[in-house]
Amino acid sequence: MARRRDATRSDGKAWIFLSWTSLFLILAMMGVLGLLICVNSFRALWPNRIEQVTLADGSVFLGFPVNADLSPEGLSRLQYKVANRELNSGADFRWVYARDIVSAARPPGAVLVNRAENGDFLGLPGPGADGSFEKPEQLRARLRSYRERWNAGAEPLRRKLASLGEDWQRVHLSALKAQYAMERAAAAPAKEESAKRLRAERERESAVKAESETLMGEFNRIKNDFSRETAVFATAEGETVVLPLSSIVDASWPNAMTVMERAGAFAVNVWRLLTHYPREANTEGGIYPALFGTVMLVFLMAVSAFPLGVAAGIYLREYAHDGILSRTARVAVNNLAGVPSIVYGIFGLGFFIYGMGGAIDDLIYPERVAAGINTYGGGGIIWSALTLGLLTLPVVIVATEEALATVPSEIRQGSLALGATRFQTLWRVILPMASPGILTGFILAMARAAGEVAPLMLTGAVKSAHNLPLDGNWPFVHLERKFMHLGFHIYDMGFQSPNVEASKPLVYLTALVLLILVFALNFSAITLRKRMRDKYAMKGF
Amino acid sequence: MHITENQARRLKKLADKLAEWVITVAGVTVIAAMFAMLALIVREAAPLFFPATQRMVGAVSLPDGVAARDVAALGVEGDLSEKMRVAGVILRDGRCGFARLDDGEPKGFALERLPEAPASAAILSVEVHDNDKFSVLWDDGTASLYAMEVRFPAGADGKPAAAHSFYPVFHHRPDQAEWTNSPPLSALLRGDAAEHRVVGVFADGSVAERRLAPGAGLLGRSKSVASQRTIRIGRGGAVTAAALSDDGMLYMGTNEGNLLSLDLSGDAEGEAASEVTPVFRDRRAISALVFLNGGYAVAVGDASGAVSVWFPRRENGEFRLRRSVDWPTGGGGVKAMAVSGRDRGLVALDDAGRLRWFYSTTGNELLEIPASRSRPELPALNARADNLATLHADGAIVFSRLDSSYPEAGWAGFFKRLLYEGYETAAYVWQSTGSDASEPKLSLMPLVWGSVKAAVFALLFATPIALAAAMYLSQFAAPAFRARLKPAVEMLAAVPSVVIGFIAALWLAPLMERYLRFFAGASQYDQRNSLVIAIAMGFAVIPTVFSLAEDAISAVPPALSAASLALGASKWQTVIRVVVPTASPGIFTAVMLGFGRAVGETMIVLMAAGNTPIISLSPFNGMRTLSANIAVEMPEAPVGGTLYRTLFLCALILFVLTLAINTAAEVFRHRLRNRYGKV
Amino acid sequence: MRNEDHADGPIASAAGLNFFYGEKQALVDINLDIARGLATALIGPSGCGKSTFLRCLNRMNDLVDGSRVEGTLTLDGEDINAPGVDVIDLRRRVGMVFQKPNPFPKSIYENVVYGLRIAGVRGRAELDAACEHSLRRSALWDEVKDRLRESAMGLSGGQHQRLCIARAVAVKPEIILMDEPCSALDPRSTVKIEDLISELKGDYTIVIVTHNMQQAARVSDRTAFFYEGKLMEEGETKKLFTTPVRKETEDYLTGRFG
């Protein structure tokens, strides 16, 4: 009898259930994380319906419902995004108590205008040029024609002005160089030559400036003409608002959209997210530069870490004598894999930026140093890439070593017995066999590094960079430029932004894009490993 | 093109050699780079602990006929160039001159009367403040304020040359009999664009204050009296020394060991708060008094040769003077002191001729400046506290270079509990943004505490969950289930910590605040606190612990479980009593590696921990870790400065900490392997 | 290089050969001639040094740290351990087949022509011809001629070993060393390999290490018996097996120790 009781007590069903719960808890937390990000991202991109809310005190406003919770006193309240920043003295969100809401309607004519400045605008259709209410198709047609005319008439000018600006920058730096050389020239003839060059550069500078000033004048005139074209709206409170067409990025009527139309708008929003630049201090617009910067960074990092890491792994495994030096090296590599990323960041700052960068600047651009301009002596994408490369090196080295170890020694011996040199054996037999392991380890390391932000904060990631490190201006690749990065963007928007509430949707979206990127890298690593294993591995043993 | 067999063979050999060379170079470079990383961090951090040094640069003798005792005051010019040193000398007879040391060579020393000096008056006393301002009290009752300054008029060769002078800021002759008949002990003059002020301190403890309106006139130096008052404290003994801060706080030391304080900052006609504080129980006399940089704390030199630092603290609602540091000595009484204009350093000279350099915040004696020749009589420091000039009994002015680049650092600065200016008790404080007003506080203890606390909380959350899940998956789940779920959990490791951090800060923290604020009760509740970190960072660390623990548990030979089951034990009993204990070294390793990962985590703590460097056990408070500190402070730290190097020290501590943890984990892992070898 | 060119004299010869793995001496004063064009079997109990001697012939022992050779070992009259000797070339001239078949994870074609590619041969025609020739000589052509481009991993164990033999043969070595080539194979494959050896031995000199005395008796022309690092006895196989001179040889052959 006693034995029976023991059995039931000690088969631990309850405890087993509890440990199952732990597993479930982990998955649930992951699910919550994923769900939060996906749902919030979706809501940020899917066109939401505009509500017209009437309160008990008679006031009316237009807004998107974004949040609902309990106030500290326990009353139910709702948060609306009311936009119209400049009309609400800077606040584009407001809270209202549920009990104060008399009615909430969805007027089909409510319009959402994305603007180039001041964020979104919510309004109702206003009278058109002929006095009657402007219909959506009319406004859309007008906007379309405006865009076409702008692109034909003003846009080329704007682009020319931008490129003139770049030219001026370049000439200015050349002038600086000539001036510096002249000041330091010891002999008279050298001084004379530098002075001549300086004069030439200064002339070019003024020529460019003059040209750009004339163009600017013309551009401003055209802009003025264009800015006369306006659209009139009314706010829910009854105010009339005139918006110049030049400030309107897009206008939509979400309450009147069908599901198909909304899906279309959703797709357009996704497109804009990935290809447009941010606006309004990173609270509007897209994340294109951050996406570009992240991809380019990962690429540069791969290029710098992969050859070196694999070479070091091969060296340790195949060429180094098994003495105290190689053993210390292996211990060092293993331990360095566990060092916090911020330590790499601070090393990157001290060695790459202030050390190497400073030396490069002193050597190649002394005139800029004298003027207080940092080229390589400050943060830049190359330094960030090298720092992250250093971070991934230990992982790549260990992966290489372990992959090389999986190659059976008979294979190696077989190749050598046929008269192959060590290098031929390595290149033709061993590396192909080890490549799944090496590549997988490498891609996983890259995926991990793609998500690292801490070292980038010190080595060149910035909140806003209009120029990309790769563009159409000579020398096309600008490794010294600062860059934007998805992870850093999240940190900056969520914590350094003056308007965190408005940035939230973009933060979720950026997180989603980053997650997709990281998981794509992981997934490709795993598929690659599988594919290469099938091709090269030993089967049938 | 057909190459011969021999050529092919040679090419083959060449390729082999080249490959070997390239790979070896790459391999060695990479490995060297890893060591270089450690070396650089150590190199940047090490100077923080270097001791202070001093080096004599040269000496200039007083002109013939002038002896050391004729000198009333000494001031030293800041570095104009590496090569030039200049010291200004004011003689008792009213003459002044500049001792110049150019590239080690003493230059001529011309004496002339102080500009605008009252005719045929001699100097009674001079007070030096701000390193280069001199309040001169003449025996005819005039008080003058001079500033030592340098101009660069073009010299004979057209090149600008340095010209030093004592610039008269303003003069005042109080028309009061008591002033002229029995002159004050000392006159303290302060002048800026807004106001000129003259404070005369008398030996009987009375204080005469004159405020002057900056007048009209070409240089605005006329002296019409705007207000005046005389205050008498009348107890505590005879005044022996006095010091006045820029915001009007006057301290006077007496021969009975009392410190009299008088608040002259308020309305010129009103009451001035006064206080008498006995500072020495043995009532030994105070011989020198000077304000430290910042005008808050005051250094007291006494007759026993000891120097102590005092500042007012709030106690029971009132401000009371409390001693923060104490440097006793056995020599004669403190004769004179000079203070740094840039940090809380000071130099004190005693009757025995000992010249010592102190730093107040850390309580360190930085250096005892060795006596080179005859006894030093008077010290002077420049504002940057790297140039010292001393007047010696034999009439020589000796120039020395002082170097203590990082006085706020060092063992005491980083790891000792210090009593900072204005604080109630000694504490560990990190407040790097120091200014003149508030001294920089560089204690690393709050940061180390933060790192450890964050890691401990994270592991408290992660370990039971990860271990239970690992145990379940390894021992109780069907193999197909395990094959699917294990990679799924490990996928969590791929999530960037910045994403976890922002969800924790923007979604989890407000949610937790709503429900948990109640539990905090009266104590302070930070929205971003240790509980948020426990969940967020714990979540990030779970895959590390889970993966390694699962491997360890699965590696236990099934023969052991079989034996246990064959003896009639249930599956649960087998797992708990046999499998897990056998796997325990591996499990322990897993937890340790998780701890190492947590200690180094930066983004999550940066976003979700509140970033306040405090030492607290409460789970409702936030923290700042070493890693977050580096990320936050580095962008603003001037290169090569104390903060910059301190951040490298933080990195070094992190490096060493994670190294120790990982090495210990590796050792355990080896032991685990050996153990299974026997089994 | 055909063996008819040097019709006289042994192809390889060891004189006073001593071999050390660090401190341990594995071969003691070996004096042995390997006859040209014949199959010589090396037999003896485990650890007697026969495999070590085999690996001296193509200097594969060089890959072991701490190995040291003393004495002379010549191939075609030249000392193969002399300084300046091209080990890579030696290994082409002295081929090896291992105990555990070790084909590369490449196609069958690429396995066979591997030795030629690394020697610099590039012409397609030349490689194709060599491939077919080697596979025919290794009795594998008919089985794989339609799937030369498929992975070698898809073959059976016995086919793997024949592929390794084909691979070794493709570079036209003077000697083929075989280190217990059948011990990892099933009896049917073993028979096939033994037939192969008998066929190859006219054109190539074969040195085979085996612990299977019956195999040695079947396949070899001459036999050398190793015991504890020393060469005990060597001679015509039939004579050694029926009338061994040394007592140790007789004890081994009769199975008193093995």
DSSP string, B575-644: IIIIIHHHHHHHHHHHHHHHHHHHHH--HHHHHHSBT-------TTS-B--HHHHHHHHGGGSPTTSHHH
Residue B6 corresponds to which amino acid? N
**Residue A8, pLDDT above cutoff 80:** no
Residue B597 lies in a domain: yes
Hey, what are B631's tokens?
Answer: 């990320």
Nearest-CA distance A530 → chain C (Å): 15
Q: Suggest the residue from C102, C159, C175 to mutate for an interface test with chain A (most A CBs closer than 10 A).
A: C102
Residue B36 lies in a domain: no
The answer to whether A346 touches B653, Cβ cutoff 8 Å, is no
The answer to whether C136 touches B28, Cβ cutoff 8 Å, is no
Specify the pTM: 0.86
Q: What is the pLDDT of residue A321?
A: 75
Size of interface A-C (CB pairs under 8 A): 69
More confident residue, B180 or C119: C119
Show which of residues 540-599 on chain B sit within 8 Å of chain A, judged by CB atoms.
Answer: 542, 546, 570-573, 576, 593, 596-597, 599
**Residue B635, pLDDT above cutoff 60:** yes
Residue C79's domain comprises 3-253
More confident residue, B326 or B637: B637
Residue B17 lies in a domain: no
Are B415 and B541 contained in the same domain? no
Q: For residue range B236-265, list pLDDT tens digits in order.
A: 888 999 999 888 889 999 998 888 888 888
Rounded to whole angstroms, the Cα distance separating A286 from A189 reads 54
Question: Residue B383: exposed, middle, or buried by beta-carbon count in 10 A (0-12, 13-18, 19+)?
Answer: middle
By mean pLDDT, which of A41-50, A325-334, B404-413, B644-653 is the weakest? A325-334
Residues 6+ positions from A5 with CB-CB distance below 8 Å: none
Q: Judge: A340–B600 Cβ closer than 8 Å, yes or no.
A: yes
Mean pLDDT, all residues of chain B: 85
**Residue A232, pLDDT above cutoff 90:** no
Three-class DSSP category at B410: helix
Residue A127 lies in a domain: no
Residue B44 lies in a domain: no
- Rounded average pLDDT over C87-109: 90
Q: Judge: B12–C120 Cβ closer than 8 Å, yes or no.
A: yes
Residue C204 lies in a domain: yes
Residue A73 corresponds to which amino acid? E
**Structural domains in chain C (count):** 1
Going by C-alpha positions, the residue among A336, B451, A344 that lies closest to residue B459 is: B451
Q: What is the pLDDT of residue B323?
A: 75
Measured between CA atoms, the residue of chain C closest to residue A536 is C105
Chain B residues with CB-CB distance to A35 below 8 A: none
Q: What is the pLDDT of residue B206?
A: 85
Q: What is the pLDDT of residue B434?
A: 65
Chain A residues with CB-CB distance to C119 below 8 A: 419
Rounded to whole angstroms, the Cα distance separating A169 from A180 reads 17
- Rounded average pLDDT over A92-118: 87
Strand partners, C223: C41, C235
Q: What is the pLDDT of residue A482?
A: 93
Residue at a domain's end among B408, B441, B474: B441
Omega cis (within 30) before A475: yes
Range with the largest mean pLDDT of B220-234, B406-420, C1-15:
B406-420
Rounded to whole angstroms, the Cα distance separating B26 from B643 reads 35
Residue at a domain's end among B415, B441, B467: B441
Rounded to whole angstroms, the Cα distance separating A245 from A143 reads 7
Q: Judge: B8–C89 Cβ closer than 8 Å, yes or no.
A: no
Residue A519 lies in a domain: yes
Measured between CA atoms, the residue of chain B closest to residue C89 is B9
Q: Judge: A15–B572 Cβ closer than 8 Å, yes or no.
A: yes
- Rounded average pLDDT over C87-100: 90
Question: Residue B641: exposed, middle, or buried by beta-carbon count in 10 A (0-12, 13-18, 19+)?
Answer: exposed
Residue C258 lies in a domain: no
Going by C-alpha positions, the residue among A67, C147, A129 that lies closest to residue B511 is: A67
Residue with tokens 């164990």: C157
Q: Judge: B12–C88 Cβ closer than 8 Å, yes or no.
A: yes
The answer to whether B392 touches B338, Cβ cutoff 8 Å, is no
Q: What is the pLDDT of residue B120?
A: 79
Give B1's pLDDT tier (boundaries 50, 70, 90). very low
Rounded to whole angstroms, the Cα distance separating A457 from C255 reads 77
More confident residue, A12 or C168: C168
Q: What is the pLDDT of residue B574?
A: 87
* Percent share of chain B, pLDDT over 70: 93
The answer to whether A110 touches A254, Cβ cutoff 8 Å, is yes
Residue A135 lies in a domain: no
Residue B367 lies in a domain: yes
Q: Judge: B3–C89 Cβ closer than 8 Å, yes or no.
A: no
- Rounded average pLDDT over A94-111: 88
Nearest-CA distance B9 → chain C (Å): 7
- Rounded average pLDDT over C166-186: 91
Say how many C-beta atoms besides its own lie within 10 A of residue A264's C-beta. Answer: 13
Q: For residue range B133-183, list pLDDT tens digits in order.
A: 999 998 888 888 999 888 877 777 767 777 888 988 888 877 766 666 677
Hey, what are B374's tokens?
Answer: 């005859």
Three-class DSSP category at B377: strand
Q: Which among A314, A394, A453 has the least Cβ separation from residue B23?
A: A314
Chain B residues with CB-CB distance to C172 below 8 A: none
Q: Which among B27, B468, B471 has the least Cβ separation from residue A315?
A: B27
Show which of residues 46-105 on chain C sit within 8 Å of chain A, judged by CB atoms.
Answer: 58, 60, 63, 65, 88-92, 95-96, 98, 100, 102, 104-105
The answer to whether C176 touches C200, Cβ cutoff 8 Å, is yes
Q: Which among B3, B9, B11 has the least Cβ separation from residue C89?
A: B9
| Cα angle: A357, vertex A358, A363; to 5 degrees | 100
Rounded to whole angstroms, the Cα distance separating A520 from B148 reads 69
- Supply the ipTM of this predicted assembly: 0.88
Say how many C-beta atoms besides its own lie within 10 A of residue B675's C-beta. Answer: 12
**Residue C123, pLDDT above cutoff 70:** yes
Going by C-alpha positions, the residue among B416, B454, B389, B438 that lies closest to residue B616 is: B454
Residues 6+ positions from C200 with CB-CB distance below 8 Å: C137, C165, C169, C176, C206
By mean pLDDT, which of B94-103, B430-439, C237-246 is the weakest? B430-439
Rounded to whole angstroms, the Cα distance separating B125 from B143 reads 10
Q: What is the pLDDT of residue B676?
A: 56
Q: For residue range B277-333, list pLDDT tens digits in order.
A: 888 878 888 899 999 988 888 999 988 888 889 888 766 656 667 777 778 776 788
Nearest-CA distance A443 → chain C (Å): 23
Going by C-alpha positions, the residue among B264, B151, B165, B172 that lies closest to residue B215 is: B172
Residue B473 corresponds to which amino acid? L
Going by C-alpha positions, the residue among B155, B202, B151 that lies closest to residue B174 is: B202
Rounded to whole angstroms, the Cα distance separating B427 from A313 reads 49
Give B3's pLDDT tier (boundaries 50, 70, 90). low
Residue A486 lies in a domain: yes
A423 close contact with C: CB closer than 8 A: no
Show which of residues 13-52 on chain B sit within 8 Å of chain C, judged by CB atoms.
Answer: 13
Three-class DSSP category at B671: helix
CATH number at residue B652: 1.10.3720.10
Residue B500's domain comprises 444-678
Residue B261 lies in a domain: yes
B21 close contact with A: CB closer than 8 A: no
**Residue C56, pLDDT above cutoff 50:** yes
What are phi and psi for residue A79, nearest 5 degrees? -110, 135
Q: What is the pLDDT of residue B456?
A: 96
Residue B547 lies in a domain: yes
DSSP state of A62: E
Residue with tokens 């060599």: C130
Q: Judge: B11–C86 Cβ closer than 8 Å, yes or no.
A: no
Q: For residue range B48-73, list pLDDT tens digits in order.
A: 999 889 888 888 888 888 888 889 89
Nearest-CA distance C238 → chain A (Å): 31
Size of interface A-B (CB pairs under 8 A): 259
Are B430 and B490 contained in the same domain? no
Strand partners, B143: B137, B172
Residue C249 lies in a domain: yes
- Rounded average pLDDT over C166-177: 92
The answer to whether B48 touches B390, Cβ cutoff 8 Å, is no
Q: Which among B27, B471, B476 has the least Cβ separation from residue A320?
A: B27
Q: What is the pLDDT of residue C19?
A: 94
Rounded to whole angstroms, the Cα distance separating A145 from A151 reads 10
Neighbours of chain C (3+ CB pairs under 8 A): A, B
Q: What is the pLDDT of residue A514?
A: 95
Q: Which among A7, A21, A342 has the least Cβ separation from residue B627?
A: A342
Cα dihedral sign for B249, B250, B255, B258? negative
Residue with tokens 């006159």: B187
Q: Judge: B5–C120 Cβ closer than 8 Å, yes or no.
A: yes
**Residue A2, pLDDT above cutoff 70:** no
Give B458's pLDDT tier (boundaries 50, 70, 90). very high
| Cα angle: A65, vertex A69, A70; to 5 degrees | 140
Going by C-alpha positions, the residue among C244, C218, C220 that lies closest to residue C233 is: C244
| Helix residue spans in chain C (DSSP H) | 50-57, 87-93, 108-118, 124-137, 141-144, 157-170, 187-200, 213-219, 237-242, 247-253
Nearest-CA distance B671 → chain C (Å): 28
Chain C residues with CB-CB distance to B1 below 8 A: none
Nearest-CA distance C104 → chain A (Å): 7
Are B596 and B621 contained in the same domain? yes
Residue at a domain's end among B441, B461, B480: B441
Q: For residue range B68-79, list pLDDT tens digits in order.
A: 888 989 998 866
Q: Judge: C65–A322 Cβ closer than 8 Å, yes or no.
A: yes
Three-class DSSP category at B254: strand
Nearest-CA distance A467 → chain B (Å): 22
Q: Judge: A33–B495 Cβ closer than 8 Å, yes or no.
A: yes
Are B498 and B467 contained in the same domain? yes
Q: What is the pLDDT of residue A541?
A: 29
Rounded to whole angstroms, the Cα distance separating B299 from C95 reads 91
DSSP state of C28: E
Q: Judge: C88–B8 Cβ closer than 8 Å, yes or no.
A: no
DSSP state of C152: G
The answer to whether B391 touches B356, Cβ cutoff 8 Å, is no
**Structural domains in chain A (count):** 1
| Cα angle: A466, vertex B634, A382; to 5 degrees | 45
* Percent share of chain B, pLDDT over 90: 28
Residue A327's domain comprises 288-535
Hey, what are A103's tokens?
Answer: 């009615």
Q: What is the pLDDT of residue B190?
A: 87
Nearest-CA distance A335 → chain B (Å): 6
Chain C residues with CB-CB distance to A424 below 8 A: 118
Chain B residues with CB-CB distance to A430 below 8 A: none
- Rounded average pLDDT over A410-433: 91
**Residue A194, pLDDT above cutoff 80:** yes
Rounded to whole angstroms, the Cα distance separating C62 from C55 reads 9
Q: For residue range A24-47, list pLDDT tens digits in order.
A: 999 999 999 999 999 999 988 998
**Residue C188, pLDDT above cutoff 60:** yes
Nearest-CA distance C118 → chain A (Å): 6
Give A360's pLDDT tier (boundaries 50, 70, 90). very high
**Residue B679, pLDDT above cutoff 70:** no
What's chain C's Rg over C-alpha atoms?
18
Chain C residues with CB-CB distance to A539 below 8 A: 151, 153-154
Nearest-CA distance B560 → chain A (Å): 18
Rounded to whole angstroms, the Cα distance separating B288 from B389 reads 19
Hey, what are A421's tokens?
Answer: 């040199």
Q: Suggest the residue from A9, A335, A343, A404 to mutate for an interface test with chain B (most B CBs closer than 10 A).
A: A343
**Structural domains in chain B (count):** 2
Q: Judge: B12–C86 Cβ closer than 8 Å, yes or no.
A: no
The answer to whether A460 touches B634, Cβ cutoff 8 Å, is no
Residue B40 lies in a domain: no
- Rounded average pLDDT over A334-344: 89
Show which of residues 449-468 on chain A sit within 8 Å of chain B, judged by CB atoms.
Answer: 450-454, 457-458
By mean pLDDT, which of A80-89, B80-89, B613-622 is the weakest? B80-89
Hey, what are B106's tokens?
Answer: 């003493």
Phi/psi class of residue A238: alpha, beta or left (left: φ > 0; alpha: ψ in -120 to 50)?
Answer: left
Strands B430-431 and A76-81 turn out to be unpaired
**Residue A88, pLDDT above cutoff 50:** yes
Q: For residue range A42-54, list pLDDT tens digits in order.
A: 988 998 889 999 9
B8 close contact with C: CB closer than 8 A: yes
Going by C-alpha positions, the residue among C117, C83, B13 that lies closest to residue A422 is: B13
Cα–Cα distance list, B62 to A301, B96, B149, B243 (Å): 66, 11, 20, 29
Q: What is the pLDDT of residue B217?
A: 44
**Residue B218, pLDDT above cutoff 70:** no
First to last CA, chain C: 38
A20 close contact with B: CB closer than 8 A: yes
- Rounded average pLDDT over B105-110: 79
B499 close contact with A: CB closer than 8 A: yes
DSSP state of C151: B
**H-run or E-run covering B369:** strand B364-369
A412 alpha-carbon distance from chain centroid: 45
CATH number at residue B117: 2.130.10.10
CATH number at residue A392: 1.10.3720.10
Q: For residue range C215-236, list pLDDT tens digits in order.
A: 999 999 999 999 999 999 999 9
Give A354's pLDDT tier (boundaries 50, 70, 90). very high
Q: What is the pLDDT of residue A108?
A: 86
- Rounded average pLDDT over A472-488: 89
Neighbours of chain B (3+ CB pairs under 8 A): A, C
Give C74's pLDDT tier (boundaries 50, 70, 90). very high
CATH number at residue C230: 3.40.50.300
For A260, half-sphere exposure in the C-beta direction (CA atoms, 13 angstrom radius) is 0
